[in-house]
Amino acid sequence: MDIDLLTNIFYAMVRTGTPLLLVALGELVCEKSGVLNLGQEGMMLFGAVIGFIVAFSTGSLWLGVLLAIAAGMLLSLLFAIVALGFNANQVATGLALTIFGVGLSTFAGAAWVGKPLTGFEPIALPYLSDIPLIGRMLFAQDLLVYLSFALFALVAWVMLKTRIGLIIQAVGENPDAASAMGLPVLRVRTLAVMFGGAMAGLAGSYLSLAYTPMWAENMTAGRGWIALALVVFASWRVFRVLLGAYLFGLASIVHLVAQGIGISVSSNLLAMLPYVATIVVLVLLSRDAIKTRLFAPVSLGKPWQSGH
């Protein structure tokens, strides 16, 4: 395997892993606050279609990105109102949000399927992009990939080094104690949910404006579900989310790599790898339930009300 092929594989791995990284970072913050939102797939799709429609209609890619983020936040706020405000079951509410988001995106994008759009183009940084193996992977990407690097650094810093991160984790571990200390538990959880929605919307806009600049029904292809598994796979640790996103991204392009080096295996079979990997990861984690509970936020998915 020559260096040019490896360079292209690493480059494609980062591009493919970027939407997973964005969604997983948002879900990580959400789950750290004690809220389990299974609506990532629906929020991604709604963000993708809104971002595409706005960018196509106005000619502004960044306006499309901003409104895709707003669309994700809007759906996440709907989830927060039902799951946190009315204390509904978070799993059922998240599943309903996914079904609603998928249907809404299909309805909104019916007239926009297959329309061409010039999306975000790669921008190579002088000299840095010429570094062997990693140069193109890190320094010849489009602006949304660079933004994902910055957002990862920001989330890691906030969660590990700031008071805000401690508050989010305190609310997720013991909301009763956090409330007794004067922390606004429901407000923190609502903001965390909305941040998760914003990241899902951003990931959707990346798919429709950069990765494959077009709109197609169900174009997320299960990435929202993979991201949910990724957070568990990473044991709710931010640096493992980065590693896991790119590993799943690599699994998603194995069929292209195999074709490139002449391996005669069904492309459909190889395309199943990221979903098979997701199932295998969840099965392996479920075998050690005690260890999984050790790392999971104690109050994850448990309803809570002020004065409870």
pLDDT at 253: 83
Q: What is the CATH number of the domain that holds 90?
A: 1.10.3470
In a domain, 101, yes or no: yes
Using the predicted structure, report yes or no on whether residue 308 has a pLDDT greater than 60: no
pLDDT of residue 285: 65
Domain assignment of residue 124, yes or no: yes
Asked if 43 contacts 72 with a C-beta cutoff of 8 angstroms, the reply is: yes
pLDDT band at residue 257 using 50, 70 and 90 as cut-offs? confident
Determine, yes or no, domain membership for 300: no
134 part of a folded domain: yes
Nearest-CA neighbor of 208 among 94, 96, 51?
Answer: 51
Backbone angles phi, psi at 37, to 5 degrees: -110, 110
Burial class (CB in 10 A: 0-12, 13-18, 19+), 297: buried
Note whether residue 17 is domain-resident: yes
Stretch 234-259: mean pLDDT: 85
pLDDT at 123 > cutoff 70: yes
Q: Is 93 exposed, middle or buried (0-12, 13-18, 19+ CB in 10 A)?
A: buried
In a domain, residue 304? The reply is: no
Distance CA 240, CA 31 (A): 15
Query: Are 303 and 87 contacting, i.e. CB atoms less than 8 angstroms apart?
Result: yes
Helix ranges, the chain (H):
3-32, 40-58, 61-80, 90-108, 135-139, 143-161, 163-173, 175-180, 185-206, 223-233, 238-252, 254-260, 267-271, 273-287, 289-295
Q: For position 274, what pLDDT does the model report?
A: 73
Phi, psi angles (nearest 5°) of residue 218: 55, 35
Task: Determine the Cα–Cα distance for residues 112 and 110; give it in Å rounded to an integer.
Answer: 6
| Domain count of the fold of the chain | 1
Q: How confident is the model over 188-232, as pLDDT tens digits?
A: 999 999 999 999 999 999 999 999 999 999 999 899 999 998 998
Determine the structural domain holding residue 118 and report its residue range: 3-295
Q: Which two tokens stand for residue 221?
A: 């292809």
- Domain presence at residue 281: yes
Confidence of residue 293 (pLDDT cuts 50, 70, 90): low
Task: Of 86-95, 114-123, 173-182, 259-268, give the lowest mean pLDDT range.
Answer: 259-268
**For 24-82, how does the pLDDT look when each residue is reduced to its tens digit (9 = 90+)?**
999 999 999 999 999 999 999 999 999 999 999 999 999 999 999 999 999 999 999 99
Per-residue confidence (pLDDT) for residue 103, from 0 to 100: 96
> Which tens digit of pLDDT belongs to each residue from 150-168?
999 999 999 999 999 999 9
**305 found inside a domain:** no
